[in-house]
Structure 1
Amino acid sequence: MQQTTTMLHIREMILRGELAPGERVREADLAARLGISRTPVRQALPALAQEGLLVPSGARGYAVRAFSPRECMEALHLRAALEGLAARALALNGATEELLAQLKECLAEGDEIFKDQEISDEDEVRYAEMNARFHALILEGADMPLLSSLVSRCNVVPFTAPLVLAFDAQSRKTAFNFLFYAHRQHHAIVTAIESGQADRAENLFREHAYTQVQSQGAEFEKEAGLGAAKRPHRITHRII
C-alpha cells in the first residue's frame, strides 16, 4: 500500500513540474520531501521508469524524462483514438441506464460551472475533475481492459490526461471559450452514445482532443509539427 501511495505522490510531483525534466531523482531527497523511509521510494522508482516517466541515469539511478511537444501531441491523439473506440463500443453495444445517468450528472455539473458565462480558478478545478470522471466513465462502460491500460500509458505524458488543463498565457475569456466548447462536445458525445451513433461518437472524441491541442497554444502546436519538437520544451501551464 505504501509503495502505491509513494508512486502516486512521485508521479504527481513529476506531472506538476516539481521534479523538472532531466532532473536526477535521488532516493534520500525524495524520502525526506515525502516524510517516509527510502524503501518505498526505492521500490517506486523502477515502476515509474516502466511507466515512462523516469529514465535510467548513472549506475543505478533515475532522472525525470523530458517529453517533446511532438510526443505530447502524439500521446494526446492516441488517447483520443482509443477513447473514440471506447465510445464506439458503447454506442454499438448500448450503454446501461446507470452509466447514462452518471454521464448526464457530469453534463449537469459542467452546465452549472458555465452558467455565469465566466470561469474562475476554482471552476477550472471543478471542470478538470468532472472532465476526468467523464472520460473514466466512457472507458469503464466500454469494458475493454487492454484499451484502458493503453490510455493510462498515454496519460503519463504531460498535457495529455483529462485532469490536465493547459493554457499558454491565454486570457481568462479564452480559457472559458475553450472549456465551454469542450463541454458542448461532452453533450454531443453522450447524445451520440445514447442514440447508438457509433461513427459520430468516435469522431467526436477525435475532435474533442483537438480542442485540447488548441488550448495549449498555437506555438506549442507549431513546434509539435516541426524539428524544434526534438528538444525538451516547457510551457507555462496549469495542472489541475
Structure 2
Amino acid sequence: MADVSVAQRIRQLIVSGELEPGARVAEATIAERLGVSRTPVRNVIPALAAEGLLEPVGRRGYAVRRFSIEDSFRATELRCVLEGQAARAIAARGPEPVLIEALRAVLDEGDAIIAKERLIRDEQEAYAAMNMRFHTLIVDAACDALLAELIHRVYSVPFVSPGVVASTGIPAEEIPAVLQAGQRQHHAIVDAIEAGQPDLAEMLMRGHSAPARRTLGLDGPRGEVREVAL
C-alpha cells in the first residue's frame, strides 16, 4: 500500500474517533490494524505530526492531538483572512506577468482534474497538491515574511493547510461539486489580482472559507468519512 493511502487511512481513524485524542500512535499496532508493514506507517507519522494531527510525547513517540472540527473551521476562516491580505497586496501593486502565468497554469491543471465526472482518490490527492501550489504562489508573491509566518502557523491546525485532504461528513457524490465551487473561486481570485482590484481580491479570498462548513461536516449530519481539499 502506498504511503499516501496509509496516511489517508490514519487520518480517517483519527477524525472518526477510532483513534481517540491522547491515544499513543504505536507503529506496530497501527500497521497491524491497517494490514501493512511498519515501514509506511513510520514514513507517514512525521507528516501527520506536521499537519497537526499528532503531537510528540515522550522521547520519540506520538499521540493523537486533541482538536475539534469547529477549531479547524475557525482556523480555516483565519487562514483565508490572512491569505486575503496576501491577495490584496499583490493586486494593489500589480502582479508580475510570470505570477499570473504560473497561476493560470495551476488553474488549468485543476480544471483538468475536476472535468472528470467521477474523481477517484488519487485524483482528489492531485487536486489537493494543485490547491497547495495555488495558495503557495499567492502567499509567496505577497513578499511579506511576517504574513507568511502567520499563515504557516495557522496551517498547523488539523485540516487547515490547503494541501491537506480534509476528512469530512459529506457524501462522496457531493465532492466533485465542492471542488468545482472552490475552483471557480480560484479563477475569480486570479481574475481580480490580474485586474488590479485589491478590494475584490481580498473579499474573494476571505470568502474562500465558506465551503469549509460543508466539507468539514458542520452543516447537516455527519456520515461516512470522506476527503476533499479546500
- Partner residue of 1:89? 89
Partners of 2:217 and 2:12 in 1: CA distance: 19
SS in structure 1 opposite 2:168? coil
- Partner residue of 1:137? 137
Shift of the alpha carbon at 1:136?
0.3
Q: Which amino acid in 2 is paired with 1:142?
A: A
Q: Given the superposition, is the C-alpha separation of residues 124 and 17 from structure 1 closer, same or farther in structure 2, using an over 3 Å criterion?
A: closer
Shift of the alpha carbon at 1:182?
0.5
In the alignment of these two chains, the number of paired residues is 207
Q: Given the superposition, is the C-alpha separation of residues 60 and 184 from structure 1 closer, same or farther in structure 2, using an over 3 Å criterion?
A: closer
Gaps of 5+ in 1: 1-11, 36-40, 224-234
Q: Is the 8 A contact 1:103 1:190 kept in 2?
A: yes
Deviations 1:115-145 (CA, angstroms, capped at 9, x unpaired): 2343222221111110010000000100111
Q: Given the superposition, is the C-alpha separation of residues 16 and 130 from structure 1 closer, same or farther in structure 2, using an over 3 Å criterion?
A: same
1:54 paired with 2:49, answer: no
- Partner residue of 1:230? none
- Partner residue of 1:183? 183
Q: Is the 8 A contact 2:124 2:228 kept in 1?
A: no
1:102 paired with 2:102, answer: yes
Q: Which moved more, 1:141-150 or 1:84-93?
A: 141-150
Q: Given the superposition, is the C-alpha separation of residues 171 and 201 from structure 1 closer, same or farther in structure 2, using an over 3 Å criterion?
A: same
- Partner residue of 2:33? none
Deviations 1:35-88 (CA, angstroms, capped at 9, x unpaired): 9xxxxx9xx9xxx79x8953767x998744211223212211110100000000
Q: Which moved more, 1:140-149 or 1:21-30?
A: 21-30
TM-score, normalised to structure 1, is 0.70
- Partner residue of 2:35? none
- Partner residue of 2:11? 16
- Partner residue of 1:159? 159
Partners of 2:57 and 2:123 in 1: CA distance: 39
- Partner residue of 1:238? 227
Q: Is the 8 A contact 1:164 1:238 kept in 2?
A: no
Q: Which amino acid in 2 is paired with 1:22?
A: G
Q: Is the 8 A contact 2:12 2:167 kept in 1?
A: no
Deviations 1:83-116 (CA, angstroms, capped at 9, x unpaired): 0000000100111111111100011111111223
The root-mean-square deviation of aligned C-alpha atoms, in Å, is 3.7
% identical equivalent positions:
38
Shift of the alpha carbon at 1:146?
1.2
Q: Given the superposition, is the C-alpha separation of residues 134 and 152 from structure 1 closer, same or farther in structure 2, using an over 3 Å criterion?
A: same
Q: Given the superposition, is the C-alpha separation of residues 118 and 25 from structure 1 closer, same or farther in structure 2, using an over 3 Å criterion?
A: closer
Q: Which structure carries more helix by proportion?
A: 1
Q: Is the 8 A contact 1:167 1:175 kept in 2?
A: no
Partners of 2:77 and 2:70 in 1: CA distance: 11
Q: Which moved more, 1:20-29 or 1:74-83?
A: 20-29
Partners of 1:176 and 1:76 in 2: CA distance: 20
TM-score, normalised to structure 2, is 0.73
- Partner residue of 2:114? 114
Q: Given the superposition, is the C-alpha separation of residues 52 and 176 from structure 1 closer, same or farther in structure 2, using an over 3 Å criterion?
A: closer
Shift of the alpha carbon at 1:237?
4.3
SS in structure 2 opposite 1:54? strand
SS in structure 1 opposite 2:211? helix
Q: Is the 8 A contact 2:73 2:216 kept in 1?
A: no
Q: Is the 8 A contact 1:75 1:160 kept in 2?
A: yes
- Partner residue of 1:206? 206
